[in-house]
């Protein structure tokens, strides 16, 4: 059985490698034509996809999936429409392949050119949301890569139906249908085997919970680009505009609390803590945000607020400052200086997105330079850490790694490069 | 013992992380001052280093190391001088940190800046050559990274003496001596433990044989940048200038046969094969190159050459075309077209450095675009795949990976990046 599984996966790997070879020399126009055919085919297959989705939802209910998980699993005409729009947007974006990244000529006459090329074959291992099947496949294809998808077992029917629709679209437009392949084996052993197939896979991108990412990192023999936690902090400096600070933390915490770029920690400079909390704490509590405060903060919160929201005010533990709540919960702490804020963020945060609110440029620059996070903000919300908000047009995730891709990962980050060197007979 | 070893290595890891924090905000000037102090200290410590090297050489002889291995291990005043020169060159190069890689402003007024930053802590696992201790440490430091070095047991005394000299130099200039740390444990288990320390190490660079690279790839939980084989090919097209082709293959094969950018395969277009071989084969044989030829090539080699060099002409096996000889051996094959050459290189080569020799621009461009190697040449020798020859001023190796760094890896490739975003209160 295991040998059979290995064999099956190696067939998929070899087919992906062959498809990648073709994609790497496919023109931008041909790729975009294929993408549009994929979008059309996805919409034309909506009945079949929704039927498959119903099977997954019924199985999910039987297996006792939570309402939140069922919700992530659920597809409808609207979500299929969003997938198709995503594909058409990808088709309209500039081609990330063949960009001249650098050129120079040496004294010996050799002309160097560094150009972007596809990575090759990318593995995407993901959990419940079936839209990843389309979103990830499309971005990989746009960047000239073949993709091997391995979704969660709970979405297997939906993923299969979506992948089939995309493959048919690609094939209609003359691209190999093996440019997009879905591993349909439920056995978890499949992930481990894929992780060892470095002769076929150039890169692995796990998208899901910490357990999944750790499994892939532990087993993968090829590079892994991880999308870990966002334990993001907003630091309100002594020179902050307090109403701006309030608006930023409200947005960063409440606009979409379940995502990685939502704020989880609020750091207040001691000199403005009381003044900020008067209005700021009220605004957060009014939104239903539970505040886990250090002792000093708790003492500064007006008694009227404490009696109005007895359930939303708690004393913080050390663990709260290292937690990605992904809910309307915020850890709050008072610090004595921007240096103390930086030290806290460096030791407790996850190097994702952090903010300083201040009117003082020198303090802001210190924070920007010293906080070692993928994105560091001065006077703006953490919520802008997003491929779309960056102007990238799309994203495959937010990398928390420091190699190859850091922060929002879009089409350019799905490419590698090579050097072309043109000479006239030069030797050493 | 194992627990003790783990603990020891974790102490080193934590110290490196703390040093990286300091280095990341150290000015270019301070780093360069430290580098110059390190160069001076290395030279001043030459007696101690050479004494330590003698211990390694004596132990090596006792343990039966080959003459080639002893040679790689051996240090003298000249090699120490070269190390010091390398350090001074690094000091003179532009700082790779703080470069603005991109900037743009969105309609909402957010100003984005993508800037280069150090990676953090880099692990270098290497074999016999003690000069790697200095070369690797210096490049990591120049790029603002702390380094954990783990050399081979056969060079332990030399490595220790070199690392001590460098650390003292760094400390004299006010940098933490823990910016450079050498793991002095002989136990091979140390490599496995280091590979799991992803809380401290951001990246691992193994430098050595295939066995070492595979061990590190298998165990590492952090990104690994691999420097594998160079199975490099020179393809002589039907439209080639044959004397240029001869000069290029002679240089690519013979100038330094033991390195990864030396050529291992010669592909000849059928139409020029006989003409090329008349002079080309003679030139190679005169240099002592053993030619492992496919049947068709062998038939074309003039009888006079066959009788003059009976030991240097052999029929090639399939394995020869997948072998990195690293010696004066060359596999030779006739192909019918540039497409066949490309297919051969893609299926047999190692995606390192490949060459087309031709006067036909369209054929050259086809080769350049279709060969998926780190460096692809038109009318020049493979031997230019080198950080110095590229104009990078230095190199830590030639990456055969496609993520983060591909081809010559120098200071820029030893950095990551982050986004700085300056706003005026923007929220979503």
**Residues of chain A found within 8 Å of residue B346, distances taken between Cβ atoms:** 21
What is the C-alpha to C-alpha distance for residues B197 and B222, in angstroms, rounded to an integer?
8
What is the C-alpha to C-alpha distance for residues B239 and B261, in angstroms, rounded to an integer?
25
Helices A77-92 and A131-142 pack at an angle, to 10 degrees, of 10
**Residues of chain A found within 8 Å of residue B391, distances taken between Cβ atoms:** 104, 106, 112
Strands A111-118 and A100-105: antiparallel
Q: Where are the beta strands (DSSP E) in B176-256?
A: 180-182, 203-207, 232-236
The verdict on a CB contact (< 8 Å) between A427 and B112 is: no
| In the predicted structure, residue A188 carries a pLDDT above the cut 90 | no
Answer CATH for A2-226+413-422 from 3.10.420.10, 3.40.50.10800, 3.40.605.10, 3.40.50.300: 3.40.605.10
Predicted local distance difference test score (pLDDT) of residue B177: 96
* A203-212, A370-379, B289-298: range with lowest mean pLDDT: A203-212
Predicted local distance difference test score (pLDDT) of residue B128: 73
| In the predicted structure, residue B221 carries a pLDDT above the cut 60 | yes
What is the C-alpha to C-alpha distance for residues A218 and A223, in angstroms, rounded to an integer?
11
What is the C-alpha to C-alpha distance for residues A306 and B176, in angstroms, rounded to an integer?
48
CB pairs under 8 A between A and B: 189
Q: Average of pLDDT values for B395-422? A: 96
| In the predicted structure, residue A128 carries a pLDDT above the cut 80 | no
Strands B203-207 and B180-182: unpaired
Of A104, A384, A423, the CB nearest to B110: A384
Predicted local distance difference test score (pLDDT) of residue B2: 59
**Residues of chain B found within 8 Å of residue A100, distances taken between Cβ atoms:** none
Q: Is B261 strand, coil or helix?
A: coil
* A185-189, A378-382, B223-227, B268-272: range with lowest mean pLDDT: A185-189
The verdict on a CB contact (< 8 Å) between A224 and B223 is: yes
Of A244, A378, A416, the CB nearest to B422: A378
> How many angstroms separate the CA of residue A332 from the nearest CA in chain B?
20
Secondary structure of chain A as H, E, C letters: CHHHHHHHHHHHHHHHHHHHHHHCCCCHHHHHHHHHHHHHHHHHCHHHHHHHHHHHHHHHHHCCCCHHHHHHHCCCHHHHHHHHHHHHHHHHCCCCCCCEEEEEECCCCCEEEEEEEECCEEEEEECCCCHHHHHHHHHHHHCCCEEEEECCHHHHHHHHHHHHHHHHHHHHCCCCHHHEEECCCCCCHHHHHHHHCCCCCCEEEEECCHHHHHHHHHHCCCCECCCCCCCEEEEECCCCCHHHHHHHHHHHHHCCCCCCCCEEEEEEEHHHHHHHHHHHHHHHHHCCCEEEECHHHHHHCCHHHHHHCHHHEEECCHHHHHCCCCCCEEEEEEECCHHHHHHHHHHHCCCCEEEEECCCHHHHHHHHHHCCCCEEEEEECHHHCCHHHHCCCCCCEEECCCCCCCEEECCHHHEEEEEEEEEEEECC
The verdict on a CB contact (< 8 Å) between A106 and B247 is: no
Of A251, A364, A428, the CB nearest to B381: A428
> How many angstroms separate the CA of residue A161 from the nearest CA in chain B?
31
| In the predicted structure, residue A235 carries a pLDDT above the cut 90 | yes
What is the C-alpha to C-alpha distance for residues B78 and A360, in angstroms, rounded to an integer?
54
**Residues of chain B found within 8 Å of residue A251, distances taken between Cβ atoms:** 427-428
Q: Average of pLDDT values for B148-167? A: 96
**What are the distances in angstroms from CA A132 to CA A138, A159, A310, B195, B316?**
10, 9, 41, 31, 49
Tell me the percentage of chain B whose pLDDT exceeds 70: 100
Q: Closest residue of B to A405, CA-based?
A: B404
Per-residue pLDDT reduced to its tens digit, A20-31: 999 999 999 999
* A87-96, A264-273, B203-212, B347-356: range with lowest mean pLDDT: B203-212
Rounded to 5°, the CA angle A158-A136-A70 comes to 35
Per-residue pLDDT reduced to its tens digit, B14-61: 999 999 999 999 999 999 999 999 999 999 999 999 999 999 999 999
The verdict on a CB contact (< 8 Å) between A420 and B106 is: no
Instruction: Report domain extents, chain A.
Output: 2-226+413-422, 232-388
- Residue A145 and residue A13 in contact, taking contact as beta carbons nearer than 8 Å: no
- Residue B90 and residue B35 in contact, taking contact as beta carbons nearer than 8 Å: yes
**What are the distances in angstroms from CA B310 to CA A68, B250, B257, B285, B292?**
77, 20, 22, 10, 12
Rounded to 5°, the CA angle B168-B192-B415 comes to 55
The verdict on a CB contact (< 8 Å) between A380 and B426 is: yes
Average pLDDT of the residues of chain A: 96
Chain CA centroid to CA A2, Å: 32
> How many angstroms separate the CA of residue B322 from the nearest CA in chain A?
15
> How many angstroms separate the CA of residue B6 from the nearest CA in chain A?
18
Q: Average of pLDDT values for B396-411? A: 94
Strand partners for B118? B415
**Residues of chain B found within 8 Å of residue A426, distances taken between Cβ atoms:** 379-381, 384
The verdict on a CB contact (< 8 Å) between A375 and B198 is: no
- Phi first, then psi, for residue B238 (nearest 5°) are -65, -25
Using only C-alpha atoms, chain A has a radius of gyration, in whole angstroms, of 24
The verdict on a CB contact (< 8 Å) between A372 and B120 is: yes
| In the predicted structure, residue A223 carries a pLDDT above the cut 80 | yes
Of A225, A247, A364, the CB nearest to B427: A247
The verdict on a CB contact (< 8 Å) between B247 and A427 is: yes
Predicted local distance difference test score (pLDDT) of residue B149: 97
* A76-90, A205-219, A290-304, A376-390: range with lowest mean pLDDT: A205-219
Which of B384, B386, B392, B408 best tests the A interface by mutation, with the highest count of A CBs <10 A? B384
Q: Average of pLDDT values for A367-395? A: 96
End-to-end CA distance of chain B: 55
Q: Average of pLDDT values for A358-373? A: 97
- Residue B407 and residue B106 in contact, taking contact as beta carbons nearer than 8 Å: no
> How many angstroms separate the CA of residue A86 from the nearest CA in chain B?
20
Q: Average of pLDDT values for B99-107? A: 97
What is the C-alpha to C-alpha distance for residues A199 and A179, in angstroms, rounded to an integer?
17
> How many angstroms separate the CA of residue A90 from the nearest CA in chain B?
20
Which of A364, A384, A393 best tests the B interface by mutation, with the highest count of B CBs <10 A? A384
Per-residue pLDDT reduced to its tens digit, B240-285: 999 999 999 999 999 999 999 999 999 999 999 999 999 999 999 9
- Residue B200 and residue B9 in contact, taking contact as beta carbons nearer than 8 Å: no
Task: Give 3-state DSSP helix, strand, coil % of chain B, rounded to 5.
Answer: 50, 20, 30
- Residue A128 and residue A210 in contact, taking contact as beta carbons nearer than 8 Å: no
Strand partners for B394? none
Chain CA centroid to CA A295, Å: 35
Q: Is B236 strand, coil or helix?
A: strand
- Phi first, then psi, for residue A117 (nearest 5°) are -135, 160
Predicted local distance difference test score (pLDDT) of residue A292: 98
**Residues of chain B found within 8 Å of residue A255, distances taken between Cβ atoms:** 427-428
Tell me the percentage of chain A whose pLDDT exceeds 70: 100
Q: Is B150 strand, coil or helix?
A: strand
- Phi first, then psi, for residue A358 (nearest 5°) are -160, 155
**Residues of chain A found within 8 Å of residue B241, distances taken between Cβ atoms:** 425
**Residues of chain B found within 8 Å of residue A373, distances taken between Cβ atoms:** 418
Chain CA centroid to CA A387, Å: 9
Strand partners for A353? A375
CATH of domain A232-388: 3.40.309.10
**What are the distances in angstroms from CA B74 to CA B60, B78, B206, B213?**
10, 11, 21, 24
Q: Closest residue of B to A121, CA-based?
A: B402
A2-226+413-422 and A232-388 have identical folds = no
What is the C-alpha to C-alpha distance for residues A221 and A195, in angstroms, rounded to an integer?
6
Predicted local distance difference test score (pLDDT) of residue A323: 96
| In the predicted structure, residue B1 carries a pLDDT above the cut 60 | no
**Residues of chain B found within 8 Å of residue A364, distances taken between Cβ atoms:** 422
The verdict on a CB contact (< 8 Å) between B203 and A24 is: no
Rounded to 5°, the CA angle B144-B145-B149 comes to 145
Q: Closest residue of B to A26, CA-based?
A: B370
**Residues of chain B found within 8 Å of residue A143, distances taken between Cβ atoms:** none
CATH 3.30.2130.10 fits B2-226+405-422, yes or no: no
| In the predicted structure, residue B210 carries a pLDDT above the cut 90 | no
Element (H, E) at B144: none
Of B221, B250, B419, the CB nearest to A374: B419
**Residues of chain B found within 8 Å of residue A232, distances taken between Cβ atoms:** none
The verdict on a CB contact (< 8 Å) between A426 and B384 is: yes
The verdict on a CB contact (< 8 Å) between B403 and A119 is: yes
The verdict on a CB contact (< 8 Å) between A416 and B406 is: yes
Predicted local distance difference test score (pLDDT) of residue A2: 59
Predicted local distance difference test score (pLDDT) of residue B187: 86
Q: Closest residue of B to A196, CA-based?
A: B218
- The answer for residues whose C-beta is within 8 angstroms of residue B286's C-beta and 6 or more apart is none
**Residues of chain B found within 8 Å of residue A395, distances taken between Cβ atoms:** none
Helices B270-286 and B242-254 pack at an angle, to 10 degrees, of 50
């Amino acid at each position: 059985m295991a040998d059979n599984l290995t064999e099956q996966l190696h067939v998929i790997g070899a087919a992906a490698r062959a498809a990648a070879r073709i994609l790497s020399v496919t023109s931008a126009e041909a790729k975009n034509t294929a993408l549009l055919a994929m979008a059309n085919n996805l919409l034309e297959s909506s009945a079949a996809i929704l039927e498959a989705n119903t099977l997954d939802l019924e199985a999910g209910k039987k297996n006792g999936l939570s309402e939140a998980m069922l919700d992530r699993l659920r597809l409808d005409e609207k979500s299929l429409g969003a997938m198709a729009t995503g594909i058409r947007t990808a088709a309209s974006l500039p081609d990330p392949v063949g960009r001249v990244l650098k050129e120079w000529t040496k004294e010996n006459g050799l002309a160097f050119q560094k150009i972007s090329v596809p990575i090759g074959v990318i593995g995407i291992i993901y959990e419940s949301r079936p839209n990843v099947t389309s979103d990830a496949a499309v971005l990989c294809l746009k960047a000239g890569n073949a993709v091997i998808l391995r979704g969660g077992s709970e979405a297997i029917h939906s993923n299969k139906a979506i992948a089939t629709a995309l493959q048919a679209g690609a094939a209609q437009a003359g691209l190999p249908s093996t440019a997009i392949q879905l591993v349909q084996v439920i056995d978890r052993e499949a992930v481990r085997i894929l992780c060892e197939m470095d002769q076929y896979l150039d890169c692995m991108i796990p998208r899901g919970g910490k357990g999944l990412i750790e499994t892939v990192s532990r087993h993968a023999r090829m590079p892994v680009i991880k999308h870990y936690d966002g334990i993001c902090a907003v630091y309100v400096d002594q020179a902050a505009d307090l109403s701006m600070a309030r608006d930023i933390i409200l947005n960063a915490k409440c606009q979409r609390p379940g995502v990685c770029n939502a704020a989880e920690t609020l750091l207040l400079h001691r000199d403005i803590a009381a003044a900020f909390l008067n209005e700021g704490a009220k605004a957060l509590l009014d939104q239903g945000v539970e505040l886990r405060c250090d002792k000093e903060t708790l003492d500064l919160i007006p008694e009227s607020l404490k009696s109005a929201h007895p359930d939303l005010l708690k004393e913080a533990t050390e663990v709260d400052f290292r937690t990605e709540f992904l809910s309307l919960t915020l850890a709050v702490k008072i610090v004595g200086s921007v240096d103390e804020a930086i030290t806290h963020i460096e030791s407790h945060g996850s190097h994702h997105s952090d903010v300083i609110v201040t009117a003082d440029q020198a303090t802001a620059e210190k924070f920007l330079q010293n906080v070692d996070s993928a994105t560091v903000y001065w006077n703006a919300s953490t919520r802008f850490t997003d491929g779309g908000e960056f102007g990238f047009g799309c994203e495959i995730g937010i990398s928390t790694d420091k190699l190859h891709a850091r922060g929002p990962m879009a089409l350019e980050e799905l490419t590698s490069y090579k050097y072309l060197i043109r000479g006239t007979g030069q030797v050493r």
